[in-house]
Amino acid sequence: MARAELREPFNPLRLPQGYPVALLVSLGVTLLAIPLLPYFDHANTIMLFLLAVVGVAARYGRGPAILVAVLNGLSFNFVFVPPRFAFAFDTLQAILTFIVMLIVGLIVGQLTARFRYQAHIARAREERACHLYEMARELSGAVAVEHVIEISERWVETSLRIKARLLPSDDRDCLLQAIPTRPEPLSVDLAIAQQCFDRNAPIDSSGGNLSGLALWYLPLEAPPHTRGVLVVAPDPRRPSSLGQRQLLDTFTALIAIALERLHFAAVARHTLVKMEAERERNSLLAGLSHDLRTPMAALIGSTEALALELAAGQPSYRDSLTAIREQTMRMALLVDNLLDMAKLQAAGGVRLRKDWQSLEELVGSALRMLEQPLRDHPLQLALGLELPLVNCDAVLIERVLVNLLQNAAKYTPPGTVIGVAARAETDRFTVDVWDEGPGLPVDHQEDLFEKFTRGHPESAMPGLGLGLSICRAIIEAHAGAISAGNRPGGGARFTFTLPLETLPPLEMDDEPDLEPT
Amino acid sequence: MAAAETALTVLIVEDEQAIRRFVRATLEGEGHRVHEADTLRQGLLDTGTRKPDLVVLDLGLPDGDGVDFIRDLRAWSGIPILVLSARVEEYDKVEALDAGADDYLVKPFGVTELLARVRAVCRRYARGPSGATVVTFGETDVDLQRRQVTRAGQPVHLTAIEFRLLATLLSQSDKVLTHRQLLRAVWGPAYVERSHYLRIYMGHLRQKLEADPARPRYFLTETGIGYRFCPA
């Protein structure tokens, strides 16, 4: 065959298989024809010989066909053409018989060969299409560059039976030598690969590398970008066919598209994050400009009023001073919240200073901090007598309690009860902070934990809507959960949980009772 | 403003001029003498030359670590130190207290808080080591010598450790004691990391001596830092 087979390698033992058969067929037909000779004339006998040639040609192709045509020509001449049992090529008839036999053999053999070859090509095409389809399917499911590398290298090796190595490019157009995914990876020259990538043109390196193999460096083009380089080591014993090259081109195109898709997926993700950050920044700016400007305007006004009052010798300056102090405190609180949020969002997450804490103690100190805002609210504490210690960051959990209680004080009318209830279950600790106020808007209770989200956005209540998102960040850092809801009897309830761990044992003996001396 | 019972010499080590001015005005209003230093180096020099009765030290100074300053000072002097810290230095102030600072104030703080702290610190030093054998707060009387505790006339039974904890807190009234300091004093140096001991025993003490243990009046929690006994 003129063109290299795609699927099966050259096999020297396979081809001559038809020749012995041709010999046998020729012998057989001669022996068969001898007893028939008295009953048939030569013209009919020769049909048998011709049939044998057609048969062998159809079955075994051109070579055996020629052999059987020559043998049949000779044996017919030898056995049947007078003088019998002697070669006689002196008559035109004998030569004609011989030539016809040869031509028939050649034509049929040629036809068979072409037919076979086309069947073979069709099979190979189907297989290639199948491989392409399979690879495309796998590539479309790949979610990481590593997957693309593994899939590509595997399919190039399976389909073309040549070794391959995929070098993807990073954001700065440098090729990366990823961890090899195949056993005995191809050792490639990164400099040549980079050159191929930069020029965006294939490079054929002959014997340039250690193993002495010729390597092809093929750029993975996904216009307008190049996404990497595919390096393959073609088998030097088998020159590559056109079909193989085409297949390789299709593979590179597919791989390039897969890498391009991953690239744009990453870009899209990045853009989403940026948009979210942008949204946050915008609402922060909007919130800040309102919540910082208002107290600042009040501060400036109050100090100027104070100056006037002092100049005029009026004794009423106390009001201005009180106003200045209140506005400053409000700003200080805001700045605290902003700082907390920034700290909680710091790269690498929150650093928890965990320690065994008594929840009763944390509630107690939170309540002490909020003595002023809570003075108009009766408190109802249900903390249980034997609450276990919780392993948590005291400062942060106190912050959660302060924020929740502060919200309760802020959004409920004076005189209504505010409560804290805590209970321990098998594996977690649950704390409720509830009130008897108007409750939460029904439709977006989860949104309350988003930054800069407030139950009633147009509310005149000062605040940035940071308090609850700070709570959520803290509780989630502790592997707990926080949720908001309304109580059946009216009012809001915020619930958070913390995982319960086993307290290390106490090792020290303590006398049960101290005897007075 | 009325002058304090005793006029003190106070050194303020703080780099922010606005804070220095406000602290100076407040303390001078109380009749104290005030010196200022804006770096740790200057502060350490002035502590030697001015011989202050109290150092007000900002923890966030540009030229060094305030905790090192305290350790340096404590190597040769026992003068009271009041630490000023910003919220971001939450854990520095624990270190400062462990190193020997007497008390702390978190910025922003007001005049009232500042004066209350200064008075408490000075009162403790003026009083010297408490010679009192009976301490009374609310309805509770504690006889330290006879190791007897009564509440509203009824005897209260405390375990040995509970009493040691109570006595340690009472001996330094108004002063914040860090977890490590309390663990060391009550349980011993090997126990300074086992803060759960302290939580449990503090809980017991409050159950026995506070009217509402969840909202203590005398044994106050300084979250993340330690405890403070407030007799008032």
ipTM of the assembly?
0.87
Please name the residue of chain B whose CA is at the shortest distance from the CA of residue A367.
B215
Residue A356 has its nearest CB partner, among B110, B195, B221, at B195
Q: Give chain B as a 3 state SS string.
A: CCCCCCCCEEEEECCCHHHHHHHHHHHHHCCCEEEEECCHHHHHHHHHHHCCCEEEEECCCCCCCHHHHHHHHHHHCCCCEEEEECHHHHHHHHHHHHHCCCEEEECCCCHHHHHHHHHHHHHHHHHCCCCCCEEEECCEEEECCCCEEEECCEECCCCHHHHHHHHHHHHCCCCEEEHHHHHHHHCCHHHCCCHHHHHHHHHHHHHHHCCCCCCCCCEEEECCCEEEECCC
Expressed in angstroms, the distance from the first to the final Cα of chain B is: 23
Partner-chain residue, chosen from B163, B194, B221, that has the shortest CB–CB distance to A364 = B221
Note whether A364 contacts B108, CB cutoff 8 Å. no
| Residue A144 within a domain | no
Q: Are residues A365 and A486 in the same domain?
A: yes
Considering only CB atoms, A360 lies closest to which of B161, B214, B223, namely B214
Host domain of residue A163 = 158-260
Q: Could you tell me if A250 and A274 lie in one domain? A: no
Residue A367 with chain B: CB contacts under 8 Å: 214-215
| DSSP E strand stretches across A417-491 | 418-424, 428-435, 481-486
pLDDT tens-place string over residues A336-354: 888 888 778 776 667 788 9
Question: Percentage of chain B with pLDDT > 90?
Answer: 56
Residues 6+ apart with CB under 8 A from A222: A253, A256, A257, A259, A260
Q: Higher-confidence residue: A20 or A242?
A: A20
Q: What is the DSSP-derived secondary structure letter of residue A447?
A: G
The count of structural domains within chain A is 4
Q: Within an 8 Å CB–CB cutoff, is residue B148 touching chain A?
A: yes
Are residues A251 and A294 located together in one domain of the fold? no
Helices marked H in A61-189: 62-79, 92-141, 145-160
Residue B104, both tokens: 């702390």
d(CA B210, CA B203): 10
Q: Do B199 and A356 touch (CB under 8 A)?
A: yes
The helix (run of H) or strand (run of E) holding residue A83 is none
CA–CA gap between residue B183 and residue B166 (Å, rounded): 12
Scanning every residue of chain B, which has its alpha carbon at the shortest distance from the alpha carbon of A339? B88
Identify any residues that bridge with A427 across adjacent strands, giving them in sequence order. Answer: none
Which of B221, B222, B230 to probe by mutation at the A interface, max A CB count within 10 Å?
B221
A275 lies in the same domain as A237? no
Q: Note whether A383 and A480 are same-domain residues.
A: yes
- In a domain, residue A321? The reply is yes
Render pLDDT for B75-101 as a digit per residue (tens, 0 to 9): 988 899 999 988 666 778 899 999 999
**A36 and A116 share a domain?**
yes
Query: Cβ–Cβ contacts within 10 Å for residue A58, how many?
Result: 14
- Residue A69: predicted pLDDT: 84
- To the nearest whole Å, the CA of B143 is away from the closest chain A CA by 10
pLDDT digits (tens, 9 = 90+) for A415-457: 999 999 999 988 899 999 999 988 887 766 667 777 656 555 5
Residues A390 and A342 in one domain: no
- Residues of chain B in contact with residue A332, where contact means CB-CB under 8 angstroms, are 108
Cβ pair A395:B90 closer than 8 A: yes
Note the pLDDT of residue A7: 41
Encode pLDDT of A261-319 as tens digits: 999 999 999 999 888 888 877 776 776 777 777 778 888 888 888 888 888 877 777 77
Mean per-residue pLDDT of chain A: 81
* pTM given for the model: 0.63
Please give the residue of chain B at the shortest CA–CA distance from A420: B214
Closest residue of B to A383, CA-based? B214
B 34-63: CB under 8 A from A: none
Q: Half-sphere exposure of A416 toward its Cβ, with a 13 Å CA cutoff?
A: 17
In this structure, what CATH number is given to the domain that contains residue A319? 1.10.287
Residue A361 with chain B: CB contacts under 8 Å: 199, 202-203, 221
Q: Give the HSE-up count for residue A239: Cα atoms under 13 Å, Cβ half-sphere.
A: 4
Are residues A301 and A251 part of one domain? no
Does residue A145 belong to any structural domain of this protein?
no
Contacts of B196 in chain A (CB under 8 A): 355-356, 389, 503-504, 506
Neighbours of A203 (CB within 10 A): 19
